[in-house]
Amino acid sequence: MAIIFNEQNKTYTIQTKNTTYQMAINPFGVLLHTYYGRKIENDNLAYTVYDDMSPFTPKTEDIKGDEVWARIDHIPQEISCFGCGDYRESSVNVRHADGTMGLQPIFVSAEIKNGKYSLEGLPAFYGDEGETLIVTLKDRVYDVYLHLYYGVLPEYDLITRALVIENKTSSKIHVEKALSLNLDFNYGDFDLVSFEGRWAQERRFQRTPVAHGKNQIFSTRGASGHIMNPSCILCSKDATETNGDAYALAFVYSGSFLISASRNFNDNTRLVMGINPENFNFVLESDESFQTPEVAMTFSYNGFEPASQNLHKAIRNNLCRGKYKNARRPVLINNWEGTYFDFNGDKLVSMAKDASELGVELFVMDDGWFGKRDDDYSGLGDWVVNERKLGCTLSELASKINEAGLKFGIWFEPEAINEDSDLYRAHPDYAFKMPNRQPTLARHQLILDMSRKEVRDNIYNQLCKILDSANISYVKWDFNRNITDLYSCEVPAEKQGEIYHRYVLGLYDLLERITSRYPDILFESCSGGGGRFDCGMHYYMPQAWTSDDTDPIERLKIQHGTSFIYPVSTMGAHVSASPNHQTNRKTPLKTRGNVAYFGTYGLELDVNKMTDEEKAEIKRQVAEFKQHYELIQRGEYYRLRSPYEFDSLYCVWQVVASDKSEALVCAVKYRTEANTHPEFVRLRGLDENKYYKVNGGKIYQGATLMYNGLMLEQSWGDYESQLYYIEEVK
């Protein structure tokens, strides 16, 4: 059993492979958080909760002066509510029919179930091998219930949290804040690792102390966004890749979010995570409920590395779904950077024929194939094939590319609409626009109101007509701007605060319908690159375009930051032209390939323009990537040298097979100096007693490579790289 109830101590203890999470019910019925950390067997950990006897700490007393509600301003809790004596960042806020706010949740009951819970209409981790704990609390005064969901996947040290708020009163209530996670600690010596950025610079590693006050990571964009990722690591001051405490958390949601880490006057630390309360107000009528998305968390006492590896395995095996979650995905070529809007059917077929000779397996036609779409000013919303531009039907084009030996894929941006489109002219109300205001355009487009079923049905029917018309094996689902002008014309004023969340629910509904209808299609998420790279999207699509920045040196930081939470198998990574289209940097083709290997590997260029020598190198790369595919995609990932370590010339990382029989190390030289000396990198994850051959040559004991190190080959010039294949000698 992963979940244990102790009747005598009134404790619920969650045990995973290496960690323990415990909560306890105090005499007032408050659900205390007593411990989360390294595994402890069979003990009551509530002794760490102490009473603050300060006369300035609020408590609730009856008419006789007896305390009937705890002093909660400092005690660790499983759920925190506004308005009843806890001045820290709360996770729940409810406004009642009489205008009062706040809850005092009292323990009612708990239930333990086999299998990991699922969430209706929301993505979530799954697993029959898991367990579920549902704890029910009720407000002391009003018939408002809080159902706390805990899912446990013990093998990955993974615990998930979600919340249901249920209105059993006779009147409606307003849910003004509904965060999924409240995680309290009675000490405060933490750092917060987050992954900030901007377009073409997503998920850069950032580490800051949790000081007195609040550290906040958030999005108010209606999407998880380029600027901050809905994930973080709360860690001890001494935490490194291999040392110290690390709590890694990921929000399984694709909309606006809030992560707040705060430290109070008693040095208590609280971390909350969930839907951003900015512009959020959900109305619950009597007998209605609100379900939050879930947060996934894992703990490591050996630094960032094991926490990342736990999340990688859980995301690959128990979040991603469908045919391609563990199947080998085809090596693709996308025509976007090769042609942009300037193409026709003959050009695409020519590119496909050349790519086929290099071992590429899938051709993807990007933006510009539909409606009136020769630039980004028009056409979005009109998913009708432009046969004049292609010179043939879509079915004929797909057949020609299939005859060249490649599968065929296609690009959509289903959530957006141009004002210059037939759909907008027929249904201007389908787009988000505020009354009496000019709409705010981005990339000359508006966002469709996915909270409305008729809008989703229109897009669904258009997409199905396209996907049914040709032999299509892949879909790139793009979302190139964030939401403004948030207003749904079909919703009363009182419910406009629900639209951000209802948009995401509508998106998930559409994705569920499309991916279920086409189970053999590989879907890839994109949002102006990595603007919606989150666990919510990975539930529907096993990979996402990591960034529009394809420069391999820029990608070192982008893929490095992404790897703290997300596995290699989710990261779209392509070889592009040199000079690079985003930075104008010139890099060796070998380096572009080596970096793209540690993602889904593909091409983003015009192969017709490549020299014979370049084509030979790509052909070698495709064969090498296929040879090491299983190792790269499912091996355990190790960050050996960070691109932020300025005392080194190299960024180095490694993947190791689960049985430690082989490994692959990549070293990229990201800056150059004169009179350099050899650099040694200590490998990790090998068997110290086994012997390994490096690149088919020298043989070393595993202990030697891990404790003395691998000497990197010295190279001349800019941005050189080297791949080291390490194979067990049997």
Active site residues: 534, 614
Measured distance CA(12)–CA(132) in Å, rounded: 12
Buried b (16+ CB within 10 A) or exposed e, 190-202: bbbbbbbbebbbb
* Sequence-separated (6 or more) residues with CB below 8 Å from residue 18: 38, 39, 157, 299, 300, 301
Measured distance CA(726)–CA(695) in Å, rounded: 6
Measured distance CA(233)–CA(248) in Å, rounded: 4
Decide if 555 contacts 573 (C-beta within 8 A): yes
DSSP symbol at 52? -
Measured distance CA(291)–CA(135) in Å, rounded: 14
User: Could you tell me whether strands 332-334 and 213-219 are parallel, antiparallel, or unpaired per DSSP bridges?
Assistant: unpaired
Closest CA to 718 of 574, 583, 541, 572: 583
Decide if 310 contacts 300 (C-beta within 8 A): yes
Residue type present at position 142: Y
Calculate helix-pair angle for 552-562, 589-597, nearest 10 degrees: 10
Number of H helices, E strands in the chain: 14, 41
Measured distance CA(627)–CA(238) in Å, rounded: 39
3-state helix, strand, coil in the chain (%, to 5): 20, 30, 45
């001349």: which residue's tokens? Answer: 716
Task: Kindly provide the residue ranges of all beta strands, DSSP E only, lying in 301-426, ordered along the sequence.
Answer: 332-334, 362-365, 407-412, 416-417
Q: Collapsing DSSP states into helix, strand and coil, what is residue 699?
A: strand
């790289």: which residue's tokens? Answer: 721
Length of the chain: 730
Residue 625's H or E segment, with its range, is: helix 612-627
Sign of the CA dihedral running 116, 20, 565, 631: negative
Which long-range contacts (C-beta less than 8 Å, at least 24 apart) are formed by 685-692?
685/636, 685/638, 685/654, 685/656, 685/660, 686/656, 686/660, 686/726, 687/660, 687/728, 690/660, 690/728, 690/729, 691/728, 691/729, 692/663, 692/726, 692/727, 692/728, 692/729
Decide if 148 contacts 103 (C-beta within 8 A): no
CB atoms within 10 A of CB 96: 19
For residue 430 the two structure tokens come to 């389908």
Please state the three-class secondary structure of 131-182 as a single string: EEEEEEEEECCCCEEEEEEEEEEHHHCEEEEEEEEEECCCCCEEEEEEEEEE
